Amino acid sequence: MSTKESVKMKAYNFVTSIKTAAFVVGSAIIIFAALRNSLTWHAQHFWGASGDLWEEQWRLILHITGEDEFLLYVVGPFLASFIPFWSCSIPLLIMDITKKPNFLYQYKIQQDKNIDLKWKEVRHGILIVLRNQVISFMTICGFYPLMKWRGLVQHGPELPTFQWVLVELCVFVLIEELLFYYAHRLLHHRQVYKRVHKIHHEWTAPICISSIYCHPIEAFFSNYAPVFCGPLVYGSHLSTVYLWVVIATVNTINAHSGYHFPGFPSNEAHDFHHLKFTEMFGVLGILDRLHNTDMHFRASKHYERHQTYFSLTPIKQLVPDPSQNVKQAKCPTDTVETPHTSDGF
């Protein structure tokens, strides 16, 4: 490729990545706003909640903790991650082990993998996850004095406006994408991969607990630090931090669940990353598009299935793979089993 063509390709990828960012973040804002408004309406009309629903819940948290800063700034964010993680993971683990109920198991992306998932494997994974959740607690302990040093300790009873929370969440998402993408690319460097990241890729077909099944170094630099850097930089109200931690936790479980459920954000991209190892390093796909680390993904059937859909029919039936019936040329990544084949990015 000539220099001129290379420049054109980079410019095209940059423009496309900006469009992707606008679409992904914009769609997320619309969906989040709709869910929040719907939940508020139902709470007020059917459960008798007052118009100050969310401020009342926050005041309740302040009352329970006695506004103790350690409970609010360390224990609170940890529980905002720990409780959603296991609430979502336990039902998914039951499905992975029992393959029941069938009407939900049919949404499994790689049904030819983890066929004989044993409790012994799951137990080992759970122990690794619990160790990394201890690291999560230690990470939060480390970020708390940084927030105090910057004068960012905000937990008053008056909540920020919903519009301002949306702005902050958009900033958090973009900061996480930036930090996670490059940290993840570094983890796929030959020397780093074999010492650190290889543990995470023991799951070529991810399951929910594989989201934080990793080396302690990866747990800190790739999983936890990118999440807490946004609030640290922005100086957010603590209630916004709680909300962001819940969203980030649920999102990473969805990305690693191995199930493409109707109405859920597509996790085909990260599932493809676990399957092929060599592409789709980001969360949103923005920087993957910019750096052209999604080339084979965009040429695959997984890309056509990479959508949020609302039919009860599994996406693999709505967008069938013709390779099951017609022999096609092999994808260049089909024979790649490990990503540590070069010394750089």
Return the structure tokens found at 119. Answer: 């409790």
In a domain, 95, yes or no: yes
- On whether the CB atoms of residues 13 and 290 are closer than 8 A, the answer is yes
Q: Is 292 exposed, middle or buried (0-12, 13-18, 19+ CB in 10 A)?
A: middle
Give the three-class secondary structure for 14. Answer: helix
335: in domain: no
Q: Please tell me the pTM assigned to this model.
A: 0.84
Distance (Å, whole) CA 57 – CA 65: 13
Any idea what DSSP says for residue 331?
Answer: P
- Residue 20: what pLDDT? 61
| pLDDT, position 113 | 81
Q: Give residue 331's pLDDT.
A: 44
- The total number of structural domains in the chain stands at 1
pLDDT at residue 50, as a whole number: 54
Domain that holds residue 180: 58-324
Helix (H, G, I), strand (E, B) or coil at 20: helix
Q: Give residue 25's pLDDT.
A: 64
Helices 53-65 and 3-46 pack at an angle, to 10 degrees, of 90
Any idea of the CA torsion for 116, 119, 123, 124, to the nearest 10 degrees?
-40
Question: How far apart, in Å, do the first and last CA atoms of the chain sit?
Answer: 19
- Secondary structure (DSSP) of 119-172: HHHHHHHHHHHHHHHHHHHHHHHHHHHHHHHTT-----SSPPPHHHHHHHHHHH
User: Is 63 within a domain?
Assistant: yes
**307, 330, 327, 329: which is closest to 319 by C-alpha?**
307
Tokens, residue 335: 């024979």
Enclosing H/E stretch for 322: none
- Per-residue pLDDT of the chain in tens (345 residues, 90 and over written 9): 566 666 666 566 666 656 666 666 666 666 666 666 676 655 555 555 555 778 888 999 999 999 898 999 999 999 999 999 999 999 999 999 988 898 999 999 988 887 778 888 899 999 999 999 999 999 999 988 888 777 666 788 888 888 888 889 989 999 999 999 999 999 999 999 999 999 999 998 999 999 999 999 999 999 999 999 998 888 888 999 999 999 999 999 999 999 999 989 899 999 999 998 889 999 988 899 889 999 999 999 999 999 889 999 999 999 987 665 544 444 444 444 444 333 444
Q: Which residues contact 335 (CB under 8 A, 6 or more apart)?
A: none
Is position 39 within any domain? no
Is position 187 within any domain? yes
Instruction: Check: CB of residue 263 under 8 Å from CB of residue 310.
Output: yes
Residue 22 lies in a domain: no
Burial of 249-279, coded b for 16+ CB within 10 Å and e otherwise, reads bbbbbbbbbbbbbeeebbbbbbbbbbbbbbb
Between CA 209 and CA 259 the distance in angstroms is 13
Question: Is residue 258 a contact partner of residue 295, using CB atoms and an 8 Å limit?
Answer: no
Distances (CA, A) of 119 to 94, 114, 142: 10, 12, 34
Could you give the CA distance from residue 318 to residue 266 in angstroms, rounded to a whole number? Answer: 14
Quick check: is 250 in a domain? yes
